[in-house]
Structure 1
Amino acid sequence: MKTTSLKEWTYEEFMSLPEGGPVRYEILDGGLCMTPSPNTRHQEISWNLSGFFWSFLKTRPVGRSFSAPYDVVFSKDPPQVVEPDLVFVSKDRLSIITEQNIQGIPDLLVEILSEGTEIMDRRKKHSLYERFGVPEYWIVDPKLNMIQVFRLIDGHYAAALEFGIEDRLETPLLPGLSILLSEIFPA
């Protein structure tokens, strides 16, 4: 992930950037971050994970989920705008969903690592999500076929729970959702 830091960006400037194309934009701590579009494996994992959420939420309407590209605006001043790979917002918090984006704190954010985003996802976004109080944050590692789950406890993320390819991932945010990781990671 490349960050341009020649100037601090405002939310309005961020919103004036072109939509779509091969570059994704985020604004973290005033710096504009640009990421190339993800590779095939990343997209397959995203599709598979999104499918589990879609199927679950179709039968149990306890909230809504969204896949990238979709902005999550934590703050407009200073601007903090991220574009996670997957977002879940519970039924109790649906008011943060607007026509354009999410404006507030989702219940769950998922980032799928790639070479260009790993450091940002593991450090800067981890810290940002913790600071803003995102209840649960998943880091999906395509190289290791593993998902790390961070849950907020007393304002801080506890040590990661690690789930490997033979494990089944469940979360208290979505009782009844059970994801067999071998169905997430393509062979």
Structure 2
Amino acid sequence: MATPNPQVKFTYEDYLLFPDDGRRHELIDGDHYVTPSPKSRHQMVSSNLHRILSSFVHDRRLGRVLAAPMDVVLSELDVVQPDLLFISAARASIISEKNIQGPPDLVIEILFETTRRTDEITKRKLYERFGVREYWIVDPELETVKVYQREEREIPGPDAIRRGGREDLAHMVGGRGRELMRLDHL
């Protein structure tokens, strides 16, 4: 992950000029972050989660589940590409032809060694600031999911869920559905 340069602030207009080089480019508070392409374990977890969540959401006509690369434009200085995101049917208008214009209802980031600090600290604060309702941090190495839910003004501490646990994540889309996903499916 590139170290941000506090003297240079990039905008969405600058972002559109970044090279299409197979790496993930993001802007957080105008700082340019570059992440190498993820490893196979990361992609397998992402694929499994996408399949499970898409099926759940589609069957109930709750909205859309989208996977990276998909630009989420939070502001002129904040453009991210979450691994997975959910947008409720009621908020479908934020989906444009080119990108997502505003905060998704759910953002999922899957950790790997170069993104851990950014995903757990920087992006969590960013998503909180822009009103993301729920944020999951999936850690394939520790086999955990940290679930942050927005309550009123801030996202509280995480509920950690471990692989093989019987806990369900039915609260993902407003408490609908039972046993949406168990971690032993990852």
TM-score, normalised relative to structure 1: 0.92
Deviation string 1:114-172 (CA, Å, 9 cap, x unpaired) is 10000000110011111111110000011110000000112111121111111243132
SS at match of 2:97: coil
Alignment-derived partner of residue 138 in structure 1: 136
Alignment-derived partner of residue 71 in structure 1: 71
Distance 1:18 1:68 in 2: 16
Alignment-derived partner of residue 85 in structure 2: 87
Distance 1:12 1:169 in 2: 41
Distance 1:171 1:102 in 2: 24
Alignment-derived partner of residue 11 in structure 1: 12
Would the aligned equivalents of 2:15 and 2:27 in 1 still touch at CA under 8 Å? yes
Distance 1:121 1:169 in 2: 23
Deviation at residue 173 of structure 1 after TM alignment:
3.9
Deviation string 1:78-137 (CA, Å, 9 cap, x unpaired) is x10111100000011000000011011110000000100000001100111111111100
Alignment-derived partner of residue 163 in structure 1: 161
Distance 1:45 1:73 in 2: 25
Matches within 5 A, 1:17-166: 17-19=18-20, 21-76=21-76, 79-166=77-164
Aligned length: 181
Deviation at residue 18 of structure 1 after TM alignment:
2.7
Distance 1:65 1:18 in 2: 26
SS at match of 1:54: helix
Deviation at residue 13 of structure 1 after TM alignment:
1.0
Deviation at residue 179 of structure 1 after TM alignment:
0.4
Instruction: Choose between structure 1 and 2: higher strand proportion.
Output: 1
Would the aligned equivalents of 2:4 and 2:33 in 1 still touch at CA under 8 Å? yes
Structure 1 gap segments, 5+ residues each: none
Structure 2 gap segments, 5+ residues each: none
SS at match of 2:33: strand
SS at match of 1:122: helix
Alignment-derived partner of residue 179 in structure 1: 181
TM-score, normalised relative to structure 2: 0.93
Distance 1:173 1:60 in 2: 13
> What percentage of aligned pairs have identical amino acids?
41
Distance 2:119 2:9 in 1: 21
Distance 2:158 2:168 in 1: 13
